[in-house]
Structure 1
């Protein structure tokens, strides 16, 4: 019985198989929805901090009779701050998880759009966020590489990318500083300053969340447009997988 010849290996010059593109549109809806929730909770947190600032000021100037009456108001103000901080933290965790999934998928697509422009492997799109200090710039470089690969034709302005990243770094630093001040404050004046710091941090985080929404929508639109261009033959073909 004749033996079947071994399958011939592909020639060394053959192009590598095309990796499939995966839509990030559905994930972008989840990310933007969660970011909108974060923004709303940031507004609540800022209000709670300003409310505490006002109540603490009244306690500082109150006489003995007024002080006793304001105690219940102060307790409610503390409770509002506690719940707003707790809900904000849960929303941030959920948003961070979905955002990183979206970010990793966008990076995987960039491997198809422009592999030569990617300076780090797709795994870095996840791991870079968990490296202390380095997470202040490595994800930005990865985002820049994804942005470059996702451009269709002429260069796209990076205002959305740069604004989002600048505000994200600022709000990360401001949030940690405000939390430390609040934890260490003991005197009335120090507590009031810390409350103002928390309010300012909440407003800055709200603005950063809005900037993140703009960035996510912009990059998603860029990748969608490039995928459609490939599908219609305006770009080299690639497989677009279902979401």
Structure 2
């Protein structure tokens, strides 16, 4: 099989000794799907969850203050019961909000992961299925999704696709995951430490121990909810950042409707519906100096001789007179 027209045989940007050519390509065509709609839905739901978390923290601080200095008048007036109801309502709303936000977030997370496979093929660290399954394994869900998120962030950055590009730092990603993990574990710990009314009724704990556990559990739980508020805000920033990077990366792709299992390479033989080039290695520019993923052909002098300007038209020759000559001595 011959070398496609315009393909450099060697030198800068061409095939280098020791490197396989053509580069490996994904084994299946994977469409690049937009993230903006899902990203907006995730951000709205996370904002709602953050607001509910603030209310939940207020409810827990309020109940802890009442229980810590509870008097008979508080019990008779129903203030303590109202405080319990406030905590229960906010807890239920928080659970519903987290369920809705979690479902949409995992869908966005999985789609973002699939898009990176369209550009680079399967990851060497985690397969695409872990973008969903990793969230549902107890304890491991504090490790596996972070590994997948790290891979998504790195592969979504357009600088990663540029020769010599310098990908953006991952400080935002790290802060989000650390605060989210600490807040979640702290919230679970506060619920586990709180004594129940059944233990009090059965005589397993004293009234003083029960009151102390409720006060401590509410205060720790309120702090955990405030940490989760910060985690939700950082998650919104992460979603927006990854979505923006992928949108920028998609701007380097073929027009909408084309499949991005591999990038178009300039100079390769044309394919139906793909003007100017076929498909080459994923993530390779069409030609030096051309926009990344451009369908434009190679510049003059790259992979062949530069096109020569058209020759100037030749001057017309003198007209030939086929009629009568003015020379009287000429033969008739």
* TM value normalised by structure 1: 0.84
Instruction: Say whether 1:49 aligns with 2:55.
Output: no
Structure 1 counterpart of 2:184:
172
Q: Distance in 2 between matches of 1:68 and 1:53?
A: 14
SS in 2 for 1:85: helix
SS in 2 for 1:229: coil
The answer to whether the 8 Å contact 1:182/1:194 transfers is yes
Structure 2 counterpart of 1:3:
none
Q: CA deviation at 1:237?
A: 6.7
Q: Distance in 2 between matches of 1:68 and 1:135?
A: 42
Q: Distance in 2 between matches of 1:203 and 1:53?
A: 16
Q: CA deviation at 1:184?
A: 4.5
Q: Distance in 1 between matches of 2:101 and 2:294?
A: 33
Specify which structure has the higher proportion of helix: 1
- Spell out, residue by residue over 1:15-72, the C-alpha distance to the aligned partner (whole angstroms, 9 max, x if none): 556422100111000000000001000001000001101211331xx3x4x34544x0
Structure with the bigger RCO (C-alpha within 8 Å, sep 6+) is 1
Identify which range, 132-141 or 93-102, moves more after superposition: 132-141
Instruction: Say whether 1:112 aligns with 2:118.
Output: yes
Q: Distance in 2 between matches of 1:114 and 1:228?
A: 16
SS in 1 for 2:152: helix
**Gap runs ≥5 in structure 1:** 1-12, 239-243
**Gap runs ≥5 in structure 2:** 1-21, 160-165, 198-208, 256-285, 296-332
Q: CA deviation at 1:117?
A: 4.5
SS in 2 for 1:112: helix
* TM value normalised by structure 2: 0.62
Instruction: Say whether 1:25 aligns with 2:36.
Output: yes
Q: 1:145 to 1:53 in 2, by over 3 A?
A: same
Q: CA deviation at 1:187?
A: 2.4
Q: 1:100 to 1:118 in 2, by over 3 A?
A: farther
The answer to whether the 8 Å contact 2:180/2:227 transfers is no
Structure 1 counterpart of 2:219:
196
Q: 1:40 to 1:68 in 2, by over 3 A?
A: closer
Structure 2 counterpart of 1:93:
99
Identify which range, 155-164 or 226-235, moves more after superposition: 226-235
Q: 1:168 to 1:67 in 2, by over 3 A?
A: closer
Q: Distance in 1 between matches of 2:89 and 2:180?
A: 23
- Computed over aligned residues only, the root mean square deviation of the Cα atoms, in angstroms, reads 2.2
Q: Distance in 2 between matches of 1:110 and 1:40?
A: 33
Structure 2 counterpart of 1:38:
49
Identify which range, 200-209 or 108-117, moves more after superposition: 108-117
Select 2:292's aligned residue among 209, 212, 235: 235
The answer to whether the 8 Å contact 1:46/1:203 transfers is yes
The answer to whether the 8 Å contact 2:195/2:210 transfers is no
Structure 2 counterpart of 1:150:
156
Identify which range, 176-185 or 188-197, moves more after superposition: 176-185
- Spell out, residue by residue over 1:163-186, the C-alpha distance to the aligned partner (whole angstroms, 9 max, x if none): 111112112211110111224585
Q: CA deviation at 1:116?
A: 5.9
Larger radius of gyration: 2
SS in 2 for 1:188: helix
